[in-house]
Structure formats: structure tokens, C-alpha cells
Chains A and B, each alone.
Chain A
Amino acid sequence: MESDFEEPETALAALSADRERLAERYAQQPRWAVPAQALGIAAMVASPAAGVGWMSVWTAVAILGLFLVDRAVRRRTGLRVGRPAGPLGLTVLIVLIVLVVALYVVSLAISLPSAIGSGAGDGVGVAVVTAAAFLATLLGGLLYDRVYLREVRRAG
């Protein structure tokens, strides 16, 4: 067992330096990762427009895409991050999830008439909602990463 006792200040300084290196490693994730995740989420939001039969296939392909992005990030960094590093990150994540779920519900409502054959769907509406989901996830994802790096540098 290591027995060399470190002064608290020394130990805290070492942890601070390590957190900086951890943040640098996390920041090495591919630059296309967040845009690719945003595309995957947008595809899921758009999936109701594909109709009842294809919706699940579309969603499955989007989930597979998200899984592959996660795998690529893991491959590059060697890290798996599954939760925010602090309260601000948690807030960003919750807002993003609520927003995406709300957009999905809107997409579902817009697509429902054509999906059940009781009317024409609103193609423009679905496109707008899908674009909104892409933008929200892209900007939210970039913000989340920035907040994560900041909270990792500051956290224990």
C-alpha cells in the first residue's frame, strides 16, 4: 500500500491538474459527433412522418446511428460519460430532453392524420419540427459539452 501522506493542498493541486487532463481527453471526441447525434435525434423526431409501418424501422436506424456515434467517441477518448458532471449540465440535459420529447409529440400529432389514413399530413410542419429538433440538439449538445468540460475542471 502506498503510505506517502500528502498534504491536503498538494493532493488537491494534483487532482486539479488531473481534471484538466481529463477535460482535454474528453474534448478529443470527434468534431462530427454532436452534429451526428443531432441528425440521429432529428431522424427520430421525423419518424412518425414515415407512416405506421416504417416508423419503427426509421427509429431503429436512428438508434443504431446514435449507438455508433457513442462507440466512436468511446474509441477516441476511452471514456464513457453517462451523466452530467454538475448541476448546470443536469439542467441543460433536462431542458434538452423536455424539448426533444415535446417536438416528438408535435411531430406525432402532425403526422397522425396521414398515418391513420384520415387526411393529409403536414409535410412542411414535420420538416420545421425536424429542423427544430436538429438545431436544438446541435446547440444543446455543444452547450452540454462546454458545460461538462467546465464542471469537470471545477468538480471533484
Chain B
Amino acid sequence: MAAEPRFDEAIHAPTRLRVCAMLRPLDEADFGAIARTLELSEANLSKTVRNLVELGYVTTTKQSSPQRADARQTTTVKLTSQGRAAFDAHLAALRAMAGETA
């Protein structure tokens, strides 16, 4: 079902929107995978994720990773149902503004 268009100022900022868009079709993604895929610096991504967590749009968990031989943990990022709804509505609004049909 198509989402009702609703422009969301909170996620229109480019990096926030891109992170939400990447997470949308996934259950979750490793922090490093997001940074590499979107070609973002870790500092920039870290700040963006923190902002999205404050908005309630993503959650993060730390867990031991099969990618690491040491004891350091990997941060995993997941879009919340609130974040998914906000992203879908914002995307619909962008498409409407651009004159696209869903």
C-alpha cells in the first residue's frame, strides 16, 4: 500500500535521508557497511545515526562481530517502524513534489 505523502523536515537532510533509504529494505546493517556503501566518513555517519536515534527513527545495538578477530564490538543499525513510516511518507512527498507517480 502506498504511503500518504508527508514531508518530514527531520529526515530531509541528505545524509539522514540516505541512511534511512539504505536501511529501508533491510532488517539491519553494520555501521561499517553503511559507511562504505554510502561513502560517508565514520564521524559523519556516527553523528547522523545519533540524530536518527534521538528522533526514534533508528535503533543501534552493539554485538560481537564475525568480521572482527578482536573483542571489539560492531554497531548494528536498524530502522524502527516509526522511521519506516516517516521515510515512506517523506519519499512519497518527494515523488509528488518531483511530479513522479509512485
Report which A residues bind B (CB closer than 8 A): 1-6, 8-9, 11-12, 14-15, 18-19, 21-22, 25, 71, 74-75, 77-83, 85, 148, 151-152, 155-156
CB B73 to nearest CB in A, in angstroms, measures 14
- CB neighbours (8 Å) of B15 from chain A are 2
Report which B residues bind A (CB closer than 8 A): 12-18, 21-22, 24-30, 32-34, 36-38, 48, 51, 65-67, 76, 87-88, 91, 94-95, 97-98, 100
CB B33 to nearest CB in A, in angstroms, measures 3
Contact B51 A1 (CB under 8 A): yes
Q: List 12 A-B contacts (CB under 8 A).
A: A1-B51, A2-B13, A8-B94, A8-B95, A9-B98, A22-B22, A25-B33, A71-B66, A79-B28, A81-B27, A148-B25, A152-B25
**CA of A8 to CA of B22 in the docked complex: distance in angstroms?**
17
**CA of A152 to CA of B34 in the docked complex: distance in angstroms?**
15
Q: Secondary structure at chain A's binding surface: helix, strand, loop or mixed?
A: helix
- CB neighbours (8 Å) of B17 from chain A are 6, 11, 14-15
